[in-house]
């Protein structure tokens, strides 16, 4: 007779096969979980878990944060706010070598603070930054690489759906997770800009100098983004100071972005309705994913696989850095063909308890895992953000992958720094009120 633990292992293998066959992750997790629970218990328990358990867990106030931040991101995507952010960065640093690429990275970071989606980042920057870099004679793979590498900053810099889901599943403070992403995200932005500067000093043809705009023009572009920056400060500052909860911050962000878009005429009624529709569709998909995750957690609990993994990892007595390297390999592979939300929902229910028993700080672990997801999303040969860029712009994948390589090297350095100096991710959360 097959042991419960082996049924759990087989369930994960079948799930990976279904995902490799392009089955939607929510449907795949539900199918595997229901069949697994039937094998472990019976049909009645499986149906009860699929119905009442999923509904009970989803019927919680904390989940209202999902549509709030999703709406905020959709409004940013459909308005001209993203283009305005890039225009301001371009006006101030475009005259330097590689300045447009640096402006792209900075704009992606700020855009991440008001959208929370890497795909919004690559969509907006492909429309605004890429044409400008082409016009100024930037080498195509270098230009594409800066857009693709900058886009996943949206996963790290709050509001991030990956952090939200991690916090809900593990019952950790989403606000503290957000702040952990700020430290890592800012470090990543700085290191990317330094690498761009070094590359353009060695190979000036990669990113020629752009035109120097008059001071009046630069101030005008800066004035246009002040409301957006104030919104960003209100959302993150409110969370950091404890003035309002993460859910309330999402409501402030959604209402604020909507208000700004209409007051400054940055969105049409047609695009606003499109943003509402896409918010409803995406939120529905995320809620289905969360429901399927709770079902998967039930399956894993019944199989006792997480408990077995915890006991096994603790008994090995291996250094934490070895486990960290194993996590890096795992998420590099998963990131090649899964979006960040799916990676959180698939791996955290299985691995979290084992990793905490080994001695990982839950907030640091969240930042580390989300950083790994960001890297996986741009890693050859199947980085999903790279394919998004290819679909939007038509630039060949080999050129995109070539442009991303220097940033991946920087990302590996950041991971090493996070392991050596955990405070990079934990100092801001530890200072929160």
Task: State yes or no: pLDDT of 363 exceeds 90.
Answer: yes
Give the pLDDT confidence score for residue 112 in this predicted structure: 67
**Count: domains in the chain:** 1
**Nearest Cα to 116, choosing from 266, 340, 299, 278?**
340
Give the pLDDT confidence score for residue 54 in this predicted structure: 65
Task: State yes or no: pLDDT of 370 exceeds 80.
Answer: yes
Q: What is the pTM of this model?
A: 0.80
Number of H helices, E strands in the chain: 22, 0
Give the pLDDT confidence score for residue 415 in this predicted structure: 92
Task: State yes or no: pLDDT of 326 exceeds 80.
Answer: yes
Task: State yes or no: pLDDT of 116 exceeds 70.
Answer: no
pLDDT in tens, 122-162: 777 777 778 878 887 888 899 888 888 888 887 888 777 78
Give the pLDDT confidence score for residue 407 in this predicted structure: 92
**Please, which pLDDT band fits residue 344 given cuts at 50, 70 and 90?**
confident
In DSSP notation, 390-423 reads HHHH---HHHHHHHHHHHHHHHHHHHHHHHH-TH
The residue-averaged pLDDT of 400-406 equals 90
Residues in the chain: 433
**Nearest Cα to 101, choosing from 227, 209, 234, 252?**
209
The residue-averaged pLDDT of 423-433 equals 85
Separation in Å, CA 416 to CA 137, 194, 227, 359: 35, 18, 37, 18
The C-alpha atoms of residue 207 and residue 134 are separated, in whole angstroms, by: 10
Give the pLDDT confidence score for residue 88 in this predicted structure: 82
Q: Are 106 and 189 in contact (CB under 8 A)?
A: yes
395: Cβ–Cβ under 8 A, 6 or more apart, which residues?
A: 140, 144, 389
Most confident of 31-45, 320-334, 340-354: 31-45
Q: 392: cis peptide before it, omega within 30°? A: no
Q: Taking the mean position of all CA atoms in its chain, how far away is CA 32? A: 26
The residue-averaged pLDDT of 226-235 equals 83
The residue-averaged pLDDT of 294-316 equals 81
Give me the percent of the chain exceeding a pLDDT of 70: 94
**Please, which pLDDT band fits residue 382 given cuts at 50, 70 and 90?**
low
- Strands (E) across 157-304 are located at none
DSSP 166: H
**Please, which pLDDT band fits residue 53 given cuts at 50, 70 and 90?**
low
Q: Are 90 and 81 in contact (CB under 8 A)?
A: no
Question: In angstroms, how far apart are the furthest CA atoms of the chain?
Answer: 78
Give the pLDDT confidence score for residue 265 in this predicted structure: 81
The C-alpha atoms of residue 258 and residue 264 are separated, in whole angstroms, by: 10
Q: Does 396 or 53 have the greater pLDDT score?
A: 396
Mean pLDDT of the chain: 83
**Domain, as residue range, for 58:** 4-431
Task: State yes or no: pLDDT of 12 exceeds 80.
Answer: yes
Task: State yes or no: pLDDT of 340 exceeds 80.
Answer: no
pLDDT in tens, 174-223: 888 988 988 898 899 999 999 998 998 898 888 877 777 788 888 888 88
DSSP 53: I
The C-alpha atoms of residue 14 and residue 236 are separated, in whole angstroms, by: 40
């Amino acid at each position: 007779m097959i042991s419960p633990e082996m049924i759990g292992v087989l369930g994960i293998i079948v799930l990976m096969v279904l995902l490799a066959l392009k089955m939607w992750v929510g449907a795949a997790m539900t199918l595997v979980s229901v069949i697994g629970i039937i094998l472990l218990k019976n049909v009645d328990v499986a149906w009860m878990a699929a119905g009442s358990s999923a509904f009970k867990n989803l019927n919680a106030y904390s989940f209202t944060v999902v549509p709030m931040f999703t709406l905020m991101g959709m409004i940013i995507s459909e308005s001209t706010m993203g283009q305005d952010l890039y225009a301001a960065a371009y006006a101030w640093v475009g005259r330097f070598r590689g300045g447009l690429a640096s402006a792209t990275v900075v704009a992606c970071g700020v855009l991440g603070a008001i959208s929370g989606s890497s795909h919004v980042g690559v969509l907006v920057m492909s429309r605004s930054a890429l044409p400008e870099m082409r016009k100024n004679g930037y080498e195509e793979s270098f230009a594409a690489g800066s857009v693709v590498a900058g886009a996943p900053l949206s996963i790290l810099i709050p509001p991030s759906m990956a952090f939200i889901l991690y916090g809900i599943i593990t019952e950790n403070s989403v606000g503290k997770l957000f702040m952990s992403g700020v430290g890592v995200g800012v470090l990543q932005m700085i290191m990317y800009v330094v690498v761009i500067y070094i590359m353009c000093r060695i190979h000036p043809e990669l990113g020629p100098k752009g035109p120097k705009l008059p001071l009046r023009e630069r101030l005008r572009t800066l004035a246009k983004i002040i409301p957006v920056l104030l919104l960003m400060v209100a959302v993150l500052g409110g969370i950091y100071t404890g003035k309002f909860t993460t859910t309330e911050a999402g409501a402030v962000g959604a209402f604020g972005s909507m208000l700004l878009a209409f007051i400054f005429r940055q969105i049409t009624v047609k695009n606003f309705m499109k943003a509402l529709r896409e918010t409803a569709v995406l939120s529905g998909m995320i809620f289905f994913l969360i429901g399927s995750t709770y079902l998967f957690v039930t399956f894993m609990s019944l199989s006792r696989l997480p408990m077995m993994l915890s006991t096994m990892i603790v008994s090995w007595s291996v250094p934490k850095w070895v486990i960290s390297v194993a996590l890096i390999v795992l998420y590099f592979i998963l990131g090649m063909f899964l979006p960040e939300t799916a990676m959180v929902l698939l791996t955290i229910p299985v691995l979290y308890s084992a990793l905490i028993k080994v001695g990982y700080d839950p907030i640091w672990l969240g930042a580390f895992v989300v950083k790994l997801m960001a890297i996986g999303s741009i890693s050859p040969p199947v980085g999903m953000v790279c394919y998004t860029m290819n679909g939007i712009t038509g630039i060949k994948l080999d050129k995109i992958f070539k442009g991303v390589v220097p940033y991946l090297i920087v990302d590996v350095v950041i991971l090493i720094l996070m392991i050596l100096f955990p405070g990079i991710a934990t100092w801001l959360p530890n200072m929160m009120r």
